[in-house]
Amino acid sequence: CPAPSDLRTANSTRICAQLYADNSPYYDQCCGGEVLVVDPNSDVPYMPQGWAARISSLVVGTRCELTVWSRAGKKGNSRRFGA
């Protein structure tokens, strides 16, 4: 997985988080498959089509916090992740 401080686009724009579709019990094989990028200050109450219940690993950038909910529309239990 990338280090939280390494989350940047090709033109060096900061990324708040990257969510990954594939996972592995071996750390060096985590963070694989398709990637969903979360930009700073994003507010997305619904997952993009095809991503619900699919994320297996994530990396949150420095100076960012990612809050996720167990149900769509920011309902249910929430959990916060940081770098």
pLDDT digits (tens, 9 = 90+) for 1-41: 899 999 998 888 899 999 998 877 777 778 888 999 999 99
Count of domains for the chain: 1
Q: For residue 7, tell me if it sits in a domain.
A: no
Distances (CA, A) of 80 to 7, 66, 68, 70: 18, 6, 6, 12
Q: For residue 11, tell me if it sits in a domain.
A: no
- Give the closest residue to 22 by CA, choosing from 58, 67, 52: 58
Q: For residue 41, tell me if it sits in a domain.
A: yes
Model pTM score:
0.84
Q: For residue 35, tell me if it sits in a domain.
A: yes
Q: For residue 8, tell me if it sits in a domain.
A: no
Q: For residue 9, tell me if it sits in a domain.
A: no
Q: For residue 34, tell me if it sits in a domain.
A: yes
Q: Residue 27 — φ and ψ, nearest 5°?
A: -55, -40
Q: For residue 21, tell me if it sits in a domain.
A: yes
Dihedral sign from CA coordinates of 59, 17, 66, 60 = positive
pLDDT, position 59: 94
* Domain enclosing residue 40, as ranges: 17-82
Is residue 8 within 8 A of residue 14, CB to CB? The reply is yes
Separation of alpha carbons 31 and 58, rounded Å: 7
